[in-house]
Amino acid sequence: MTTAADGSPPAIRMRGVQVWRWVAVEERRAVLLDEIEWTVERGEHWVVLGPNGAGKTTLLNLAAAISHPSEGEVEVLGARLGQVDMRALRERIGTVEAKLGRAIRGRAPGIEVVLTGAYGSIALQHRRIEPADEARAERLLAEIGAGPLHDRLYEQCSQGERQRLMLARALMDEPELLLLDEPTAGLDLPSRERLIASLDAMAARDPDLPTVTVTHHLEEIPSSSTHALLLAEGRVVAQGPIAATLTAANVSRCFEIGVEVARHGDRWAARLSDDGDGALLPYAGD
């Protein structure tokens, strides 16, 4: 196993990974991921980009120790999936995804939502809360710029406010790896920008914490991102340091559409290219 200079194993390492599912009605295998070789080191902030159905969530579920590969090896925080207690491993990983957000009790104030993260459960166990937990939850809320959400009922929070609470919640148990699946999906512009500012604030306060953020829009990439992986039809189109990876050629190939990629400071944007290649490429079918 390769290790970083300080001796810690990579946060994520995938080798020769394939994931397939049996589609009974069609009597065939659907290959969701294929030939994945990917390493995330501590302190790296990855963004995973790709069109709908590319396999992004499937990839994140491997990294989250939620599912196993059909072929190949996945190591998360030095533990090889298939050889370790998945539940124990999951306790070391923070996740932000919409399904969990929908399961939270609506009448809970923001601070309680964050506190549930201390015990990896969505229900708050009042007897187990220590003053130190409460102090940590308050500090996290403040650090990601969500202090005003302390007393707001979850059911009265906007989608963006809920996502920021879910981010603070995911950080509550001091995860060693943080995974975010489309955290900005469905947010309006101010909400999206506030959440991205929270992600950048988090990266600044805890630069060693490795993160993987899934998105399908370049405009949603946090400034703190260091690496990118482009995924299409279950395969890696390109991966590496972000500036070298988010080229017009790579992004066009990934999304099967001719685009220009612009970088404004540390933020990214894509638009149809207007040099003649910008026309939608012929639709290849699903």
Number of residues that bind ligand ADP (CB under 6 A): 12
Regarding 56 and contact with ligand ADP (CB under 6 A), the answer is yes
Q: How far apart are CA 165 and CA 115, in angstroms?
A: 10
Nearer CB in complex with ligand ADP: 54/237: 54
Number of residues that bind Mg ion (CB under 5 A): 2
Q: How far apart are CA 142 and CA 134, in angstroms?
A: 12
Of Mg ion, ligand ADP, none, which one sits near residue 55, judging by CB under 5 to 8 A according to partner kind?
A: ligand ADP
Site for ligand ADP in 13-52 (CB under 6 A): 21, 23, 30, 32, 50, 52
| Minimum CB distance to ligand ADP, residue 37 (Å) | 18
Minimal CA–CA distance to 196: which of 211, 209, 208?
A: 211
> Which tokens is 111 given?
């601070």
Of Mg ion, ligand ADP, none, which one sits near residue 30, judging by CB under 5 to 8 A according to partner kind?
A: ligand ADP
Regarding 70 and contact with Mg ion (CB under 5 A), the answer is no
Dihedral (CA of 254, 255, 257, 261) sign: negative
Q: How far apart are CA 178 and CA 117, in angstroms?
A: 13
Of Mg ion, ligand ADP, none, which one sits near residue 271, judging by CB under 5 to 8 A according to partner kind?
A: none
Type and span of the H or E element at 286: none
Q: How far apart are CA 51 and CA 57, in angstroms?
A: 11
Q: At what angle do helices 131-143 and 159-172 cross, to 10 degrees?
A: 130
Q: Which of 8, 39, 57, 223 binds Mg ion (CB under 5 A)?
A: 57
Regarding 175 and contact with ligand ADP (CB under 6 A), the answer is no
Regarding 67 and contact with ligand ADP (CB under 6 A), the answer is no
Regarding 67 and contact with Mg ion (CB under 5 A), the answer is no
